[in-house]
Every structure is written in C-alpha cells, then in structure tokens.
Amino acid sequence: MLGDHRPYILKRFDLKFQKWYSDYFLRPQFDRLGRGCTFMKPWHVEIFGGPVSLGDYSTVIATSDRKVRLTVWSALGEGGQIAIGDCCLICPGVRISAATEIRIGESCMLAYGAFVTDSDWHGVYDRSLPVGKTIPVDIGNNVWIGDSAIVGKGVRIGDNSIIGAGSVVVRDIPPNAIAAGNPASVLKHLDPDIPLRTRADWLADPGALAAQFAEIDRHFMKDNTWTGWLRSLVRPRRGD
C-alpha cells in the first residue's frame, strides 16, 4: 500500500471536494444531515428509501470494495426509518437495513462490516414474503459494535456497551456490558469507577480538532512534492 505522497495543498483540495460532493449529492438524500458531518469517499455511500437521518459531527468512511449502505424498505412502500445520533462513526462495509425503525444513539461506533437490521427480510414459512417479521432496533448512546458483528431484529443495546467482533446479537444487551459470541451473551461489565470518554467529548471543540489535524498533515507532508507524488504513482519504489 502506497503512503500519501501528495503535496499538502492537493490533500486540502481533495478534502474540500469530498465535502462539496457530500453536500451536493448526499445531503438531498437524507431526511436530516447534521452540521459538521465528514464523509470519506462519499461516492461509495449508498442511501435507498427513507427517511434516513444522521446527527451532527458524525463520520462515515466508505471504500470501493466496502460501500456503506443505509436502506429503508417496507412491504407497502411506506413506514420505516433510520435515525443515527450525533458524533457517530460508521466504518467501511457497514449496512443498516430498516423495514420498521432502527435508532442509533449518540457517539456510537460501527466497525468494519457491521450489519444492523430490524427484519428477517423473508417469511420463515412463506419465503415469498418480501419483508417477513420485523421489530424495531434500539441502540443506546456510546455503543461500540465490533468488526463484522450482526444486530438482529427487536434488539435493544444499552448505553456504553460493546459488542465483540463477529458476534450475532439476537437478544437485548444491558448497559455498560461487554458481549460477544453467537448468540451474543454478556461476558463482563464495565468498571463503574473508570470514567468513560466518548466521541462527543473528543469532538467538543471541532474547530480546534480540525486545526490539529491540519497541523499534523502539514508536518508529515511538508517534504512532499508534485514530482515525487507523480513518480510514486507511475514508478513506485520500495518504501513508498
């Protein structure tokens, strides 16, 4: 994998273009898209149906091989919604599919390939049914859903809980718990004496945070040149 050999000014232009693309093409597809949201590779984010809402200062990361898909689809073409709170992180390959309602609280993190659904999407006995049984999903605040985990219909996950990678959640998980397995079960509870810091805390001063990232970019990209960047594209060398 090549490092980032772009001149700093080119990276800034790329970030501005991604923001423009998000505002121009994605924003109209949301019922509500909060302020300060960041989309990385927004052309790989797919929204079908609605309403879909995404809260303030959330981050969505997509890639060409792992698109992010937010889908609302019901048997009658009406009803259903996805509501995602402020300061959430949605990683590549995340799929959220709602026939009734999926609510995700603030400061939640959905890792690579996680899948959240409120429906079976087919009848158990009548496989021709297009949606099947559906029950709303409610995910609390500051929940971390691990890599490739699946959250099924009717599940409630309490605030601050963690779902381990590859888990299949088919029953409720209480607050402040760490759960894993198939089916997922509680393995331990968080220590109440250790304070929690959330993404909302991290994003409390978004302007200062953006300036900090910009300064880091300037530092690590200060020696990048246009010729060096072009050379890395057409004739990469060991260490690039």
Q: What does the alpha-carbon distance between residue 137 and residue 27 come to, in Å, rounded to a whole number? A: 24
- 5 annotated active-site: no
**Dist. CA 22–CA 47, nearest whole Å:** 12
The DSSP string of 128-185 is T-SS-SB--EEE-TT-EE-TT-EE-TT-EE-TT-EE-TT-EE-S-B-TTEEEEETTEE
What DSSP string describes 55-70? -TT-EEE--SSS-EEE
Catalytic choice (5, 122, 189, 219): 122
52-54 vs 82-84, strand pairing mode: parallel
> Is residue 137 classed exposed, middle or buried when 0-12, 13-18 and 19+ CB atoms within 10 A define those classes?
buried
Active site (catalytic) residues: 122
